[in-house]
Structure 1
Amino acid sequence: MEENTNSHNDSIQTDTADAFGFSFGSSNKPKPIIKSVVGRNDYFYNMAHKKRGLAIIFNHQSFIVPYLKDRMGTNVDCEQLKMCLKKLDFEVHVYNDLGVKDLLDKVEKVSSEDHSDHDCVVLAILTHGEEGLLFAKDGAYKHDQVFDNFRGDRCPTLVGKPKIFFIQACQGSRLDAGIGVYTEMDSSVSCYKIPIYADFLVVYSTIPGFYSWRNTTNGSWFIQALTAELKESGTLYDLLTILTFVCRRVAIDFESRVPDNSTMDKQKQIPCVTSMLTRLIKFSPKSDNINNSVEDIQQTVMKNE
C-alpha cells in the first residue's frame, strides 16, 4: 500500500501567534454562548432594531495638564458631529472636559447598559493625544481602557453589533509634507464562535506617530471631513465606503497654513481606519422617524371612532 505522506489525518496542525501585532490588550476565555442578532452569512449588520443606539461625545477644550493648550475649534467639531449623529437617529450625549476617572466611569456605565434594542454604539473622543495615549482634563489614559469595556464578553447586548469609535487626537509629533501628483484620464441555524473584539471599528484622525491638524475657527480637518460626508451620504453608502471618502477629502482638500513656521506650514494628514467589522454598516433611515408607528396610528383611529 502506498503511504500518503500528505494526509491531514496523520499529522497534527497547530496555529501559533505572531508577536507585536495590533492589540487591544489580553483577555481570558470568552463567556458562554450568546445569541447573535445577525445570521452567520449576512452581508449587512442588523440595523432594524427599535433604536439606532447611543452616541457619546467626549469633548475636550480645556486642560489642567500644564503643557496642554486649549483646543480652540473643538466646540465647532462637537456641534457638527452632534447634528450629524442625531440626523442618523442616534441618541447623542455630550460630555465636556471630564477628568480621567469621570470619563472612564462614564464609559463603563455606557457599556453596562442594556443595548438589546439598539443597532450599535458610537463613541467619539475629541482631545489631545500621543501615540497610545489620550488626554482627559487632568491626565492621560490608554485607548484600551475605553475599548476593553465593549468586548463581547463584557458587553453581551452589543455582541454581533457594531462598536464605532471616532478618535480626533494627535498620535505623535511627526509631520507629513505630502508628495505632488498629477492625473491623466481617458474619456440555517448554526452555532459558531466569534472573537471578543469582533465588530469594532476604530477611526483615528491620523496614523500612529503623526500630528493631527485642527483649525481654530472651523474645527479639525478630520471632523470637518467626517461630518461633511455623513451629511452628503450618511444613509446612501455603507460606513467603510463613507470613511474612504473621508480619507480622500482630508488627504486632498486640506493643507496646513502656518506661514510664520516653515516646518509646520503646508503639511498634510491622512486618517487611519482600523476595522474589525465582520459585515457592512448602513444607516438606513429609521421608519418611525419618517412616519408615526403603526401602534400610534391605530390608537389615533380608535380615539376618533
Structure 2
Amino acid sequence: ALKALDFEVHVYKDLKLRDLQKEVERVAQMDHSEADCILVTILSHGELGYLYAKDCQYKLDVIWSFFTANHCPSLAGKPKLFFIQACQGDQLDGGVVLSPKDRTETDSSSSMTFKIPTHADFLIAYSTIPGFYSWRNTQKGSWFMQSLCHELTQHGRKYDILTLLTFVAQRVAYDFESNTPDIPMMHQQKQIPCVTTMLTRLLRFSDKK
C-alpha cells in the first residue's frame, strides 16, 4: 500500500531497544529536504503507555522525539505519521447496538511562513484506545492494519489522511468482531482505533512529480 503511494519502504524486524533507537536516530539525522513526510509503523505487543522491543518495554516518545523540529530540521513543517498496532491494556469492549452515522470532512489551508512549535505536524494513530485490547486475525493480520492498508490502497490519493483514518475507524468498528466461542469472555468483542493529531495542514498523498 505504501509503495503504491510512492513511499520508500524499509522494514526492520524484532529489534532490541538499543538497536531500534540507533536506527531511528540514524534516519532522523538524514537529510529529508526532498521528502514530503515520514511514516513510521510499529507492530508489536504493548500495554498502557508502553510498547515492547525484543528485549524490553519502552515509551513511544523514545521513537518520535527524534523527529521533533529541533532534532530533525529537514522534517520541520512536514507531516510525521506514526501508526501503532499494539495492545494498550487488557480491557475488552463488548460494544452496543447503534445506528451508523454519516461521515463528514472539513477543509482548511494556509500559505503563510511562520515559527512553528517543535512538536507540530505529528500524527499518532493507535489500533485501540488506552487501556484496551487490540485484536488480530491469525491469518489476515490485525483489524487495524487490514483496514488501514485497505483505505490507503483504495482511497490513498483521493482523501486527506484524517478522512482516511475516519474510514479506518469505521471499518474496524463496524466490520470486525472477535470470534472465540470457546472463550466466552473474549467472544464477540469490538475495537475502535484512537488518533492523536498535531497536524497543521490537511495531508493528501498526491502523485509524486
TM-score (norm 2): 0.93
Q: Which has the higher contact order (CA 8 A, sep 6+)?
A: 2
Report what 1:249 is aligned to. 171
Please state whether the residue corresponding to 1:260 is helix, strand or coil.
Answer: coil
Q: 1:191 to 1:220 in 2, by over 3 A?
A: closer
Aligned ranges 1:39-188 → 2 under 5 Å: 84-182=1-99
- Compare CA radii of gyration and give the structure with the larger one: 1
Counterpart of 1:264 (choices 181, 186, 198) is: 186
Q: Distance in 1 between matches of 2:101 and 2:128?
A: 29
Shift of 1:278: 0.2
Q: Distance in 2 between matches of 1:177 and 1:167?
A: 22
Shift of 1:183: 6.0
Q: Distance in 2 between matches of 1:119 and 1:165?
A: 15
Residue 278 in structure 1 maps to residue 200 in structure 2: yes
Shift of 1:269: 0.3
Counterpart of 2:121 (choices 179, 183, 199) is: 199
Report what 2:105 is aligned to. none
Report what 2:149 is aligned to. 227
- Percent sequence identity over aligned pairs: 58
Per-residue CA deviation, residues 119-153 of structure 1 (Å, 9 max, x unaligned), is 00010000000111110111111111011101111
Aligned residues between the structures: 201
Q: Distance in 2 between matches of 1:126 and 1:152?
A: 25
Shift of 1:104: 1.1
Q: Distance in 2 between matches of 1:202 and 1:135?
A: 17
Q: CA RMSD in A?
A: 1.6
Q: Distance in 2 between matches of 1:184 and 1:155?
A: 40
Q: Distance in 1 between matches of 2:101 and 2:80?
A: 40
TM-score (norm 1): 0.64
- Gaps of at least 5 residues in structure 1 are 1-83, 288-305
- Gaps of at least 5 residues in structure 2 are 103-110
Which amino acid in the other structure matches residue 73 of structure 2? P
